[in-house]
Amino acid sequence: MQNAGIEALKNNWRYLAFDVHPDQLRQTIDGAKAMNFIGLNLTVPHKLLAVEIVDIIDPRAKKWGAVNTIVFETRKSGKWVPVGQVDATEIAEVRTRGFNTDADAIVQSILEDFRWNNLRGASVLLLGAGGAARSCALRLAEEKVGTMHLINRTREKAQQLGAEIKKENSKVSLFYDYPVTPVDLVINATSLGLKPEDSLPIELDWLKAKKPKRVYDMIYRPAETPFLKQARKLGCKTANGLGMLLYQGARALELWSGKKAPVKIMREALLREVYGV
């Protein structure tokens, strides 16, 4: 996805994947900085650790408590600019700035996939309270959803998340049980569904009785989890997490390059890579 986007933007860069032990994250970031890397993407558990490592953190990444994108910046004419937006000969002192492009990507994907104008006032059942659920819930509160039902295997984590949402002065009504009425949107932000033997992330009886309007699963591989399949058979509109993956990547490329991301090309590359289509 990123290499297809980079090529379309005609940037002479390459996007590469590296396995990094969490204990060596700091050295890895320093190494990349010394080698004039343009930027980095980070995944679990590095996203959380990087919050404490980057030189500067974007306020929203701080709010979500996770950095998934690092932009290396250099000083040019007294201003800090992304290394990817200056000539290589102009790179001098370099610092790291951490961003989070995940949270906006989930909202963008939900709105696009369900052809929905906005989430204001919506009733949402969110399954999970891990890293992805956390930024999703805080971001949904920002979108002014009306009610959120937070369900998690470890109930206290859902309650902690609720307390964080309330700290942001959100007006959203929070509950920690299954809703008694149907909801506009159910989101699976648990890891249940990644493996074929996984149980459903939701109480099947509730799903059958309430038939929510829209069901979103953050998992994108498999393309249709057993949860999404059940929901589709019940007549719910369904979408998987591919759009979320796409938009977090597109935004990262924009931060590095300063150019509009070629989303169509990136989506096609992603579909080829993930589903072979």
Q: How many CB atoms lie within 10 A of CB 60?
A: 16
Q: How far is the CB of 145 from ligand NDP (least distance, A)?
A: 19
Token pair 């996770």 in the structure block, residue = 66
Q: How many residues bind ligand NDP (CB under 6 A)?
A: 23
Whether the CB-CB separation of 220 and 247 falls below 8 Å is answered with: no
| Residue window 113-132: x/- pattern of binding to ligand NDP, with contact defined by CB under 6 A | ---------------xxxxx
User: Segment contacting ligand NDP (CB under 6 A): 111-119, 147-155, 226-234, 257-265?
Assistant: 147-155
Minimum distance of ligand NDP from residue 246's CB (angstroms): 8
47 in active site: yes
Of 13 and 227, which CB lies nearer to ligand NDP in the complex structure?
227
Binding part of the chain for ligand NDP, among 32-40, 142-150, 179-187, 217-225 by CB under 6 A, reads 217-225
Q: Which of 215, 243, 244 shows the shortest CA–CA distance to 229?
A: 215
Q: Which of 6, 124, 151, 189 binds ligand NDP (CB under 6 A)?
A: 189
Distance CA 17, CA 43 (A): 11
Q: Which stretch binds ligand NDP (CB under 6 A): 20-28, 146-154, 179-187, 223-231?
A: 146-154
As a whole number of angstroms, the distance between CA 214 and CA 124 comes to: 10
C-alpha 197/C-alpha 199 separation (Å) is 7
Residues 40-79, one symbol each (x = binds ligand NDP by CB under 6 A, - = not), give ----x-----------------------------------
* Residues whose CB falls within 8 Å of the CB of residue 96, separated by 6 or more in sequence, listed in order: 29, 33, 53, 54, 55, 56, 70, 71, 72, 73
Contact partners, residue 212, CB within 8 Å, separation at least 6: 125, 182, 183, 184, 185, 186, 231, 236
Determine the Cα–Cα distance for residues 241 and 219; give it in Å rounded to an integer. Answer: 5
Quickly tell me which residue has 């992304």 as its tokens. Answer: 82
- Nearest approach in angstroms of CB 128 to ligand NDP is 4
Out of 10, 33, 47, 213, the active site residue is 47
Q: Compute the radius of gyration of the chain from its Cα atoms.
A: 20
Choose the binding region for ligand NDP from 76-84, 165-173, 231-239, 242-250 (rule: CB under 6 A): 242-250
Choose, by CB under 6 A, the member of 94, 119, 133, 148 that binds ligand NDP: 133
User: Mind telling me the catalytic residues?
Assistant: 47
The contact set with ligand NDP (CB under 6 A) reads 44, 128-133, 152-154, 157, 189-192, 194, 218-220, 241, 244-245, 248
